[in-house]
Chains A and B, each alone.
Chain A
Amino acid sequence: MLNKNKLIITEGEITLKTLIVFAIMILVPFVSSAEMDRGKMLYDSWCAQCHGYEGDGKGYASGQYTLPQPRAFDSGTYKFRTTPSGERPTDEDIIRSTRKGNPGTTMPPWTRFTDDEVNEMVEYIKTFEEETFEYDAEPFQMGKAPAVSDALLTQGKEIFDKAKCWECHGKAGRGEGEKGWQDNFKNDWGTRAYPTDLTQAWEYRGGATVEDIFRTVTSGFDGTPMASFQSSYSDEERWSLSHFVTSLQTERKTGSALSVKKVDAVPASTDDAQWDAADYLDMPMSGQLMFEPRQFAPVITNVRMRSLYSDSEIGVMIEWTDKKPNKGDDGLPSDAVRLQFPVTVSDGPEKPYFFLGDKNHPVNLWFWKASDNTAVEQNAKGQKENDLVQQEKNDMLAAANYSDGHYRVLFRRPLDSGDENDITFTPGKFIPISVTAFDGAQNEQGLRATVSGWYYVMLEPPTPMKVFVMPPLVGLAFIGAGMGIRKKLKEGIG
């Protein structure tokens, strides 16, 4: 009995042990890869739409929807690193790109994940191409940025010239350098590489601080024509270059309205010094996404507006970067820019539909094309082809200039053209304005365009005459009264 019982217990023990061993055998691989599984789960939920479920950079939101293309992790090539050219990125490098995003691309800064979750995603991303991560890499020391000084900026400029940064990035740093536009200028993934416009800080893919620039010139952007200068120049030289590059960055002034100053005569030339002195408003641009053909990946990211007016005339100047101009003679559409105003300014907040107006709110368009360097006036009341009409009487004068990757287009017109289809400018009134820009190189024309939202221009009303007359009069009266009192007192003493 006892024996039998014992035997049963033993049998039970064996079965239990067997089952436990069996369970462990099955579970061990799962437990050890649980971290990876969570990384995959998060990646599939949040990253794969662009970067692809297989890490090939071909998610359904890639292609025409993004420029540059999402990183193909299966290539094992990483642009943003603190390691020498050709080496694997550190985990921190991938974490930085995830946390900070890449300006000017569709990669946003991701803040919704915990540090653990980001780490798990990084581990998963590394599995798409494992060979890269089999080799150790020695990250370079960033050190601390030296304080900026004139001497440092001078040295930085010398290196910018000597290192031939301008051959691609252009002498003005707008990415207009000739070498950057050769046919071979492609990245490892076969798409065209554009040298960065160094004047527009919001487009620096790897970030625009002096530290970011130092990291970029040191490591290069692997997979692109941007080379590493780690061995070519000392840390000190690369810091000075980085400081110089930050000095090229323009100050972006965004807002909702531009105040327009009155001058004796609106300058007729785009390079008149009065324009440089005039205040400006920067308008962030985005692709036109409401009507076919849409533009998902615009290259023009900003237009700058300046404006001056006189007793009879208004001038509006639009400036933007175009790294390679198109005049319509290279098989691509001509570059162009168009200002849009409501025909009638409403007293309330009501404005026409933001793109080409609507049936009840027609718009007045000022349209300049690089191909013939002239501007015409148009009206539109919708997006269909016959909603747009060319005006027969043209009150527009235009002047344009392209140099160093930069367009300046100046429109001039009487404040009141006497045409009922035209906008009339009344000082003191907020007048809605928006801009549509067309980059021929991006096949932009018609509805495929880069657009701004509505902004305002306000012609500063002239200062009333009494402002100039009254204070001196009051002053004179005061002096006169004082003199009188003095005289009286003197007489009194005498």
Chain B
Amino acid sequence: MKKLLIIILTLAVSIAFTADIDAKKKKKKKGKYKVTEVTNGGSISGKALFAGGTPPADETKALTSEQSLCGDSLPAEKYLINGNKEIKNVVVYLDGIKEGKAVPKDKAFVDNVQCAFVPHVSVGYKGNEIDIKNSDPVFHNVHSYIKGKTTYNLGLPDPGSMVTKKMKRDGVMEVKCDSHPWMLGYVFISQHPYAVATGDDGSFTISDIPAGKYKVKAWHEGFGEIDLGKITVEAGKTAKVNAEFK
């Protein structure tokens, strides 16, 4: 009986240890996106809209230097909302999608033009490269952060100079310039291809989604992130959903 007890105890302990190791391995692998061929996928489309009363006006940023080149102030480009209350620069994405089409190979791009980042908001894909350019005749340093942690800080002293970096981490990457405190832009780095930014008319379409049920979210630099609920995507069909901010 003692023997049995010892054997059981040994087994229990060994299982506990292996389970612990497995858990650690799983934690590392969590969230890894798997590429599969998508045929006859469905789509999600809609608009980013302001659903409250009067939409907030865009902010103005005062320049503390380079006024001769860029003027005394610049629009923050934070709230770009047209007369139909359609919002530009909202990123709509499928949260936690496990598998689907391959990530586009396109590089992301950020330029320094007239003391502002162009584009102000864009979507990039993890693992891809990003070209960071300075088109201004003044020094800019592109200092980007994800969750407050520096991703890179690159000096771009000469007009036309460009640096190419790899986007190793996903998340909302803030782009700043230590030299010019008013400058701010964003690259939404997604690890899967199902993330898009809205244009001037606030519209978006996420396509080639394998049929299934997906959690959809929308992010905006001023309004923050909202949940659009679980949307069912049917093969060859388009599901409609709007991202309504208040």
Contact = CB atoms under 8 A, between A and B. Distances in A.
A184 interface: yes
B150 A232 contact: no
A353 interface: no
A343 to B, nearest CB: 50
A135 B10 contact: no
A163 B155 contact: yes
B13 A164 contact: no
A415 to B, nearest CB: 50
A163 B150 contact: no
A179 to B, nearest CB: 5
A3 interface: no
A254 interface: no
A227 B155 contact: yes
B215 interface: no
B181 interface: yes
Interface string B134-173: 0000010101010011111111111001011100110000
Interface string B6-21: 1101100110010000
Contacts, number: 105
Contact of A228 (B155, B169, B178): B155
Contact of A18 (B6, B153, B164): B6
Q: How large is the interface on A (under 10, 10 to 19, 20 to 34, 35 or more residues)?
A: 35 or more
B13 A228 contact: no
Given A25-B14, A179-B65, A227-B141, A220 B181 contact: no
B157 A162 contact: yes
Given A25-B13, A167-B179, A182-B64, A228 B154 contact: yes
Contacts of A224: 153
A225 B153 contact: yes
A228 B157 CA distance: 11
Interface string A120-151: 00000000000100110000000000000000
A73 interface: no
A75 B154 contact: no
Interface in B44-85: 64-65
A185 interface: yes
Nearest to A163: B157
Interface string A156-168: 0000001110010
Contact of B153 (A19, A21, A134, A226): A226
Contacts of B141: 225, 227
Nearest to B5: A18
Interface in A11-37: 11, 14-15, 18-19, 21-22, 25-26, 28-29
A86 B10 contact: no
A22 B9 contact: yes
B150 A222 contact: yes
Contact of B13 (A11, A26, A86, A183): A26
A364 B155 CA distance: 51
What is the predominant secondary structure among interface residues of chain B facing chain A?
Answer: mixed
A85 B181 contact: no
A179 B145 CA distance: 20
B178 A184 contact: yes
Given A182-B64, A183-B181, A227 B163 contact: no
A231 B163 contact: yes
B158 A232 contact: yes
Nearest to B182: A184
Contacts of A287: none
Q: How large is the interface on B (under 10, 10 to 19, 20 to 34, 35 or more residues)?
A: 35 or more
Given A18-B3, A21-B10, A232 B161 contact: yes
A464 to B, nearest CB: 61
Contact of A179 (B13, B28, B179): B179
Contact of B154 (A28, A76, A85, A167): A85
Quick one: which of A15, A19, A231 has the most chain B CB within 10 A?
A231
Interface centre among B2, B139, B151, B158 (most CB of A within 10 A): B139
Interface in A190-223: 220, 222-223
A18 B176 CA distance: 62
B179 A14 contact: no
A229 interface: yes
A45 B153 CA distance: 34
A25 B17 contact: yes
Nearest to B14: A25
A225 B141 CA distance: 8
Contact of B17 (A29, A85, A183, A185): A29
A182 B181 contact: yes
Interface in A405-459: none
Contact of A22 (B13, B64, B148): B13
A167 B179 CA distance: 8
Given A15-B3, A182-B181, A188-B148, A85 B13 contact: no
A232 B178 CA distance: 17
Nearest to B64: A182
B103 to A, nearest CB: 18
B139 A167 contact: yes
A179 B182 CA distance: 13
A77 interface: yes
B70 to A, nearest CB: 15
A227 B153 contact: yes
Contacts of A131: 169
Between B151, B161, B179, the greatest number of chain A beta carbons within 10 A of the residue's beta carbon is seen for: B179
Contacts of A183: 181
Nearest to B153: A227
B139 to A, nearest CB: 4
17 contacts: A25-B14, A134-B28, A163-B155, A164-B179, A184-B176, A188-B148, A188-B150, A222-B153, A224-B153, A227-B153, A227-B155, A229-B155, A231-B154, A231-B161, A231-B164, A232-B155, A232-B158
Given A225-B141, A225-B179, 12 more contacts: A18-B6, A77-B150, A86-B153, A162-B157, A182-B181, A188-B145, A188-B148, A188-B150, A223-B149, A227-B155, A232-B155, A232-B156
Interface of A: 11, 14-15, 18-19, 21-22, 25-26, 28-29, 75-77, 84-86, 131, 134-135, 162-164, 167, 178-179, 182-185, 188, 220, 222-229, 231-232
Interface of B: 2-3, 6-7, 9-10, 13-14, 17, 28, 64-65, 139, 141, 143, 145, 148-158, 161, 163-165, 168-169, 176, 178-179, 181
